[in-house]
Amino acid sequence: MNSYAPYLPLFGKLIKELDQWRESYGSEIHSRAVHLDPEEIAKTTEALAEKLKGNYPFHHPQYAGQMLKPPHPAAWLAYALTMTINPNNHALDGGPPTSEMEKEVVKSLASMIGYSDNHLGHLTSGGTIANLEALFVAREIHPGKAVAATSNAHYTHSRMCRVLNCNFIEIPVDQFGAPDFDFIRKHAANIGTIVVTMGTTGLGLVEPLAGIIEVARDYGIRIHADAAYGGFFKLISDELPSSGHWSYLGNCDSVVIDPHKHGLQPYGCGSVLYKDASVGTYFKHDSPYTYFTSDELHLGEISIECSRAGAAAAALWTTLQLLPLTRKGLGSILSATRKATLRLAEKISNEPGWQIIAEPQLDILGYFIEPKSKKISDLNHLNKKIFQIGMESRKDGFHLSLFRLAANRFTSIFPEYESDCSEAVILRSVLMKEEHDSFAGELADRLFTTAQHL
């Protein structure tokens, strides 16, 4: 949806309804914050609107750079409306309705990945904090043992291990990104938890969860699935080349999924789920002024974070009422982004002088324009040039991202290239908007036209 303008009258109507609710408590409000001059507010927000025009066109399908897109209109409305109350989902009395909404959406996420009713989980401010929580539990369950992840994993895992004062082991991968299973077996005695990435943020690789689980169980190693980016693809897993691995998500000890990526939510909205609710003992704490309004479990009692926006739960709950976690619901968006990526991959593969790195596994594609010299340095120059030209063009341009690949890994896939640089720089497209389904061909044509003028 490229414009929220049609929804503004609805938002005004909802605000009036909430104002009536407020007035039911009386209108003795004297806060200067409430009675600021409307003209001053209008002047300031007009200045804000002008500044916001400096953003890239995240709403448009010509933007295929980073993992950015506008939230669903329902999420925007729900978030903005709920923020006029500003509930805090740390304790039930901080936001009774939104706390219940959070429990409901977490139950839906747990069901999607295959967890039983004995699960535990909550929303977070994003995938970083969600992964931090999961690794904290990993450290507590296996004190003194390391967390292991492949070199394709998000950098947050090694960084969070430093925060947690926990050893981190990097599992090497081959030229196609597959982990070294012999390395895992060799170091198994020192590993407590392995992080398996279900959709790397670089090229969208889905790691072989089934095989890693099989090895890990032989050595009593826990499995944490970082599905921050790819988690919702579970809804259409039978359409994916990695289909056999998605059914094993329910066997993982913990899973992270980010609704603010493919869940059509505003930042920040992540989630962490645990298969066994007993891990809640690691979060046990006391507070002298909260948790008194109910004997039920408060969300703050199972979270590292304290204050958390109830608006995030309201936005996700509202969205899932319209697009439930089914193939025909939210899965239809994922199907569209997947088709767009396959269409772009096909066009690039069939264009002389262009190459894709590998067949896409989700909706992220790595590719490059070939230099005549077959030198990595010239390849880097060409791809950076195309990236820059696209950024400078406005109406008929394109917004991509760049991806760095170690030179030895690149040449293992494309041995005809001379490795005269330490890394190869390729183009990367994230086609995560459903509008990309009808725009992928146009994006390819713009790329090819640009390349003709280099």
Question: Per-residue pLDDT for the chain (454 aa), expressed as one digit of tens each?
Answer: 467 888 889 988 998 989 888 888 876 655 555 567 788 889 998 999 999 999 999 999 999 999 999 999 999 999 999 999 999 988 888 889 999 999 999 999 999 999 999 999 999 999 999 999 999 999 999 999 999 999 999 999 999 999 999 999 999 999 888 999 999 999 999 999 999 999 999 999 999 999 999 999 999 999 999 999 999 999 999 999 988 999 999 999 999 999 999 999 999 899 999 999 999 888 876 666 565 566 566 677 788 888 899 999 999 999 999 999 999 999 999 999 999 999 999 999 999 999 999 999 999 999 999 999 999 999 999 999 999 999 887 778 899 999 999 999 999 999 999 999 999 999 999 999 999 999 999 999 999 999 998 8
Q: Answer whether residue 31 is part of any domain.
A: no
Find the CATH number of the domain harbouring 393: 3.90.1150.170
Q: Answer whether residue 80 is part of any domain.
A: no
Choose the final residue of a domain: 292, 322, 352. Answer: 322
Do 215 and 97 have their domain in common?
yes
Q: What is the pTM of this model?
A: 0.93
Choose the final residue of a domain: 322, 353, 378. Answer: 322
Total H helices, total E strands in the chain: 15, 11
Do 336 and 294 have their domain in common?
no
Q: Residue 448 belongs to what domain range?
A: 331-452
- Residue 38, pLDDT score: 81
Label residues 60-70 b or e (16+ Cβ within 10 Å = b): bbbbbbeebbb
Do 353 and 446 have their domain in common?
yes
- Residue 283, pLDDT score: 84
- Residue 218, pLDDT score: 95
User: Phi and psi dihedrals of 171, rounded to 5?
Assistant: -90, 125
Residue 214 in contact with residue 185, Cβ under 8 Å?
no
Q: Answer whether residue 20 is part of any domain.
A: no
For tokens 């003795």, the residue is 28
Q: Answer whether residue 49 is part of any domain.
A: no
> SS3 of 361, please?
coil
Q: Answer whether residue 97 is part of any domain.
A: yes
Q: How many domains does the chain have?
A: 2
Strand partners, 206: 198
- Residue 428, pLDDT score: 98
Do 342 and 281 have their domain in common?
no
Choose the final residue of a domain: 291, 322, 353. Answer: 322
Question: What is d(CA 241, CA 239) in angstroms, rounded to the nearest whole number?
Answer: 7
- Residue 255, pLDDT score: 98
Question: What is d(CA 83, CA 90) in angstroms, rounded to the nearest whole number?
Answer: 15
The Cβ of residue 3 has, within 10 Å, a number of other Cβ atoms equal to 10
